[in-house]
Amino acid sequence: MIHESAQIHPSAVIEGNVTIDANVSVGPFTYITGNVTIGEGTEIMSHVVIKGDTTIGKDNRIFPFATIGEESQDKKYGGEVTKVVIGDRNVIRESVQIHRGTVQDRGVTTVGNDNLLCVNVHIAHDCIVADNIIMGNNATLAGHVTVEDYAIVSALSPVHQFCTVGAHSFIGGASVVVQDVPPFVMAQGNHCKPFGINIEGLKRRGFEKPEIHAIRRAYKALYRNGNTLEEAKAEINKEIEAFPVLQGFLDLFEKSTRGIIR
């Protein structure tokens, strides 16, 4: 079903069970097929491919040569019905690839709201990309990666399978992430190492000075005071009641399967 207000270029090909809501525009030579839903106000430019079981929300901008909902690059994938779900107000730049999930994991690749995915970003199967994230040119997520709110993954930085990039963290350019990056931490290198907390980012997002000082103390407990991970957890836990924002550290420690950068 295509809403009467949608603007579809005559050279675009739309087939299958496709729903296009009001005020969507679809540019020339774009191909949309499968069980696809595109939300109100989304702009799809030329030469875009959208396939599979894919849901795209409202007011997104999708630039030329992006590919969304294609089969995963996992050799275990055998044609099962899996999904891509994308939220609202994302900017998906040229040649971005977002592949659908696998039945061996969640079965869905998720992108939240208000994200900027720069040129040639790759989001592999079963990834979770939360909200307000920036991924620079050629940043790539392998399968099963989680990127939490307000994280920045700079250009040319790959993230290994099953890693988590914590909320408000900052990954420097051309870095290789092979273990989890705790929230609020700045990291860079091959392999990624911690270089303090993302103070400027926290200030821009309205964190109060006492919260930033508490985050700095947590960082020192984890990286500067010679603690084991269990000792660092105990120190951070002492401040949780006064500074709930620190819960992000403990949550990451609890769910980590690859360990954290040290």
In angstroms, rounded to a whole number, what is the distance separating the alpha carbons of residues 75 and 73? 6
Q: Which residue has the tokens 């579809």?
A: 8
Provide the pLDDT for residue 22. 98
Question: Active-site residue among 47, 122, 125, 144?
Answer: 125
Question: Active-site residue among 126, 131, 149, 180?
Answer: 126
Known catalytic residue at 126: yes
Provide the pLDDT for residue 186. 98
Question: Active-site residue among 143, 166, 172, 248?
Answer: 143
Helices (H), 97-198: none
Helix (H, G, I), strand (E, B) or coil at 59: coil
Residue type, 249: F
Angle CA 251–254–260, to nearest 5: 90
Domain spans in the chain, listed from the N-terminal domain onward = 7-144, 202-255
Provide the pLDDT for residue 48. 99
Residue 204's contacts (CB-CB under 8 Å, 6 or more residues apart) are none
In angstroms, rounded to a whole number, what is the distance separating the alpha carbons of residues 228 and 241? 22
Provide the pLDDT for residue 71. 97
**Please, what sign has the CA dihedral across residues 241, 247, 253, 255?**
positive
Known catalytic residue at 47: no
**Please, what sign has the CA dihedral across residues 71, 73, 79, 82?**
negative
What does R_g of the chain's alpha carbons equal in angstroms? 20
Task: Say if pTM beats, i.e. exceeds, 0.85.
Answer: yes
Domains 7-144 and 202-255 share a fold: no
Provide the pLDDT for residue 188. 98
Beta strands across the sheet bearing 158-159:
13-15, 31-33, 49-50, 67-70, 97-99, 122-123, 140-141, 158-159
For domain 202-255, give its CATH number from 3.10.20.30, 1.20.1180.10, 1.10.10.10, 2.40.160.10: 1.20.1180.10
Tens digit of each residue's pLDDT, the chain (262 residues): 999 999 999 999 999 999 999 999 999 999 999 999 999 999 999 999 999 999 999 999 999 999 999 999 999 999 999 999 999 999 999 999 999 999 999 999 999 999 999 999 999 999 999 999 999 999 999 999 999 999 999 999 999 999 999 999 999 999 999 999 999 999 999 999 999 999 999 999 999 999 999 999 999 999 999 999 999 999 999 999 999 999 999 999 999 999 999 9
Query: Phi and psi at residue 188, in whole multiples of 5°?
Result: -160, 155
The CATH architecture to which 7-144 belongs is 3 Solenoid (2.160)
Known catalytic residue at 143: yes
Provide the pLDDT for residue 111. 99
**Please, what sign has the CA dihedral across residues 187, 188, 194, 200?**
negative
Q: How far is CA 31 from CA 16, 27, 45, in A?
A: 11, 10, 11
